[in-house]
Amino acid sequence: MSAPHAANDHDPKVRLDKWLWAARFYKTRALAKAAIEGGKVHYNHQRAKPGKIVEPGATLSLRLGWQEKVVIVDDISDRRRGAPEAQTLYHETDDSVKRREDLAWQRKTLQAAQLPPARRPNKKDRRDIRRFQEQQGL
């Protein structure tokens, strides 16, 4: 198999929403378009329209749920292929990887430090509470 196929070999022109779909950041072009229009995708540090033509070397900032990724476009493709081939279209910056790992670690430790979810006392708990209150003279 060859490398990812470009729209035209001599002059590839691919829309931003189509490239994000081909690079497997979003499951559908409609989701990619909605993310771009919602300001969750920035092209070279500026908001862009879904029809923006993607060029190699461009910087994309993507907000995907809790994660924020900064990727550099390496190649252009308008076809959605397998994940290994899609990952050849871009590379993530080192700062972005480190920031995502740090935020994931913070979320994990914060989640572990929280108290267990509140629940209603069961019959045994109510008896223990009543017994404690009687001992305290309440």
| Local structure of 62: helix, strand or coil | strand
Query: Which pLDDT score is estimated for 6?
Result: 47
Contact (Cβ atoms closer than 8 angstroms) between residue 18 and residue 28: no
pLDDT for the residue numbered 18: 96
Query: How many other C-beta atoms lie within 10 A of the C-beta of residue 27?
Result: 10
CATH topology of domain 1-96: 3.10.290
What was the pLDDT predicted at 31?
Answer: 96
17 contacts: CB under 8 Å, gap ≥ 6? 29, 32, 33, 36, 50, 51
Contacts 24+ apart (CB under 8 A), 116-124: none
DSSP character string of 8-42:
SSSS---BHHHHHHHTTSSSSHHHHHHHHHTT-EE
State the pLDDT at residue 5: 52
Q: What pTM was computed for the model?
A: 0.73
Answer whether 101's CB lies under 8 Å from 42's CB.
no
Chunked into runs of 10 residues, the chain (138 residues) has average pLDDT values of: 48 89 96 96 95 95 92 94 94 95 88 74 92 88
Here the tokens at position 136 are: 């305290």
The rounded distance, in Å, linking the Cα atoms of 56 and 44 is 11
Tokens describing residue 135: 């001992």
- pLDDT (0 to 100) of residue 3: 53
